[in-house]
Amino acid sequence: MAKKAQTVDGVSSTNPYEDLPKKAFWRPAIAERSMFDIAELWSPKFRIAPRAPVATFGSCFAQHIGNALKNRKFNWMIAETPPVGMSEEGAKLFNYNIFSARTANIYTTSLLRQWTSWALGHSSPPEEYWEKNGRFYDPFRPAIEPNGFATLEEMLLSREETIKAFRTCITDSHFFVFTLGLTESWFNQEQGYEYPMCPGTVAGEFDAEKHRFRNQTFEQVRSALADSIRMMRAANPKLRFILTVSPVPLTATKSDQHVLIATMYSKSVLRAVAGQIAENQKIVDYFPSYEIINSAVFRGSFFEPNMRGVNKRGVDFVMDHFFQGLVYQFGDYFSAGPSRPAASTKKLDEVCEEELLGAFGEKK
């Protein structure tokens, strides 16, 4: 005969499901609700005080988190600012105020480990640079300036500035938000360092002998992320992390799979890694932006017609859940309403180098 479970108030129940909250059951949490009324998708581990500096990095979707923090008067940390006077449009063109420093997209956890290692002085950036028509391109931020740099020295100084700013983000922020984007990655075969984009796509030249593709496994993604967190915590013992997984599908895949299958592999691995690290570490939380956009419950309504780009309504919906989660968990300690209307369906103008790969598909 089964042993009866005890509830909080001491009354016995017949099984462990009887006393679970509504959110644990599909029917009351999903089936009987409008999709826009679905709530309690995130129970945050940490209270983010509005004044606490929050650094944001990662794949394309990460930039929306920074903007949402800024719009709600949170302290989005920007450690690398443009000159005072540069227009918003100019700043965007030169990749300022997209992430907390001008790293451009950090799609993989191994790339995060590489930036972290450079920033904290555990290793130095390689000497490689790319040159085209007299302009110089940073292999680790190939599209950071629309026309490259005037000189090699300028390129190196600019990267050094970004590394310095990235270090400031590690040492001075209270929260580090990282959006995991890809498992597919490109490495330098001889020296083992990673490129954010396949050489020859945005800039540089592809060399089949030198450049190696790697579709990272769960363990590779997990260990790189764990290493990054460990290094950052050593530099800032109070730093806490919020992980998200980008809901945006791959633009293109170099694996032998169909791009849809490759996307599902990539996102599944990233989701599992983020979940496991958040589960195992008190200082790490996971925010379900991936689920909110991708779940069948939302019927694909947050995607642009190409079923890849996330529309503004989707971004707002995700970010509303982020802030509502904080309010639900910790009380209404800030104004939860967005400062800009959220109902617009205007296309989002995000900075996403990976989308440049799409151009190669148009030739097919």
Partner 1 sequence: MRGGIARCFWRKKVKIAVIGNSHIASLKRGYETLSRRSAHELVFFGGRGLALKDMEVDDCCLVPTSNASRKSISFTSGGIDRINVNDFDAFLLYGLEAKALIVPQSRFYSDAVIRRSAYDVVHEKLCYEILLKLRSITEKPIFIGHNPLRGAHKKPGNSDTSSYERGIEYLNQIVYAHLNALVIPQPKKTIVHGDSTDILYAQGSKRLAIGDDNDDALHPTIDVTHMNDAFGALWLKSFFKKI
Please report the DSSP string for 154-179 in residue order.
HHHHHHHHHHHHHHHHHHH-SEEEEE
Whichever of 100 and 251 has its CB closer to partner 1, that residue is 100
Instruction: Compute the distance between CA of residue 122 and CA of residue 269 in angstroms, rounded to an integer.
Output: 27
Binding site for partner 1 (CB under 8 A): 80-87, 89-90, 93-94, 145-147, 149-150, 154, 157-158, 160-161
Whichever of 55 and 315 has its CB closer to partner 1, that residue is 55
Q: Identify the bridge partners of residue 186 per DSSP, sorted by sequence position.
A: 195, 213
- Kindly list the distances between the CA atom of residue 129 and the CA atoms of 41, 144, 214, 313, in Å, as whole numbers in the listed order: 44, 14, 22, 40
For residue 48, the tally of other CB atoms under 10 A from its CB is 22
| β-pair type (240-245, 130-132) | unpaired
Whichever of 48 and 143 has its CB closer to partner 1, that residue is 143
Question: CB 356 → partner 1: shortest distance, Å?
Answer: 20
Report the chain's C-alpha Rg in angstroms. Answer: 21
Instruction: Compute the distance between CA of residue 210 and CA of residue 196 in angstroms, rounded to an integer.
Output: 15
Contact at 8 Å (CB) between 123 and 192?
no
Contact at 8 Å (CB) between 241 and 285?
yes
Look at the block and give the residue holding tokens 């104004």. Answer: 335
Question: CB 160 → partner 1: shortest distance, Å?
Answer: 7
Among 297, 185, 289, 294, CA closest to 249: 294
Look at the block and give the residue holding tokens 């998200």. Answer: 244
Question: CB 39 → partner 1: shortest distance, Å?
Answer: 40
Residue count of the chain: 364
Question: CB 80 → partner 1: shortest distance, Å?
Answer: 8
Whichever of 86 and 264 has its CB closer to partner 1, that residue is 86
Question: CB 93 → partner 1: shortest distance, Å?
Answer: 7
Whichever of 158 and 244 has its CB closer to partner 1, that residue is 158
Question: CB 96 → partner 1: shortest distance, Å?
Answer: 8
Whichever of 89 and 190 has its CB closer to partner 1, that residue is 89
The token pair that represents 298 in the structure block: 């939302």
Whichever of 83 and 341 has its CB closer to partner 1, that residue is 83
Question: CB 199 → partner 1: shortest distance, Å?
Answer: 22
